Amino acid sequence: MNVAIIGLGLMGGSLALSLKKQDYVKSVLGYDKNKTHETQAMALHLVDAVVSFEEIKKADVIFLAIPVNGIIAVMQALVDVSETTTIIDLGSTKAKIVASIPPAIRKNFIAAHPMTGTENFGPSAAIEGLYDEKVVVLCDLEESGDYQRKIARKIFKSLHMKKYFMRATEHDRHAAFISHMPHAISYSLANTVMKQENKNDILALAAGGFRSMSRLAKSSPFMWEDVFRQNKQHILEAITLFEHELTKLKNSIENDAWEEVHQTMADGTKLHDILDE
């Protein structure tokens, strides 16, 4: 089959590298509204060819690896694809995307969120194997066509991904806690330090802990503004609950309630008992 990827940054470029190794893929075609990205993708051999948007629509499978607002816009221009075409979006939010799918291509559409990525972006950030052994969440799959479900399962299986199925609204609430809120915290942490008069002296002490927590602040503001817009309700809920926990710890420290401080930290260490299972 011919596979097309709209968006040749980290997610699209990494996907292209993996798909080019699959024996069922005849060619991997690319398109990006940023023409510099197209040039870089070709120079890095991420795709076999860069083609026009009209040529993209002729592919057997079309991946949308672009910011979530862009996914909604591009879908409107894909209403005339073949009924056998499979369209798969890789957006970090799902509910508004699913609600915006034109009825004419609802059967064509697979709403997916690969739970992978890095803080880097652009074609040069593409990594071979980015999707290996990672989770992919497939939302509202019963509304997709039988053929499209079969194709999506085949592709994600070949990428060695672990498939999970849930409703789009359920996905968005979960993602707010484990992905979207951490990005908000990381940006805020970075800005807190950057607004100090002696920020250079502070950053001279930065070691693993600070670097790990602030790493997400390198992520594309264009992409994450869209995510925050689309998942506003759930992100605000997650931030509010985080603020409650932080205030609780702050008050314990302020009141010299060290047993409470210790218990709060001990409770937090239990998270990795689950994550490391």
pLDDT number for residue 77 = 96
Q: How sure is the predictor about 4, in pLDDT bands with cuts at 50, 70 and 90?
A: very high
Integer Cα distance of 5 and 7 in angstroms = 6
Q: Delimit the domains of the chain by residue range.
A: 2-166, 171-275
Integer Cα distance of 2 and 24 in angstroms = 9
Per-residue pLDDT reduced to its tens digit, 170-217: 999 999 999 999 999 999 999 999 999 888 888 888 777 888 888 899
Integer Cα distance of 196 and 149 in angstroms = 52
Sequence-distant (≥ 6) Cβ neighbours of residue 140 within 8 angstroms: 94, 98, 111, 167, 168
pLDDT number for residue 125 = 92
| pTM of the complete model | 0.86
Question: What is the third-level CATH fold of 171-275?
Answer: 6-phosphogluconate dehydrogenase C-terminal fold (1.10.3660)
Question: What is the third-level CATH fold of 2-166?
Answer: Rossmann fold (3.40.50)
Per-residue pLDDT reduced to its tens digit, 102-137: 999 999 999 999 998 887 889 999 999 999 999 999
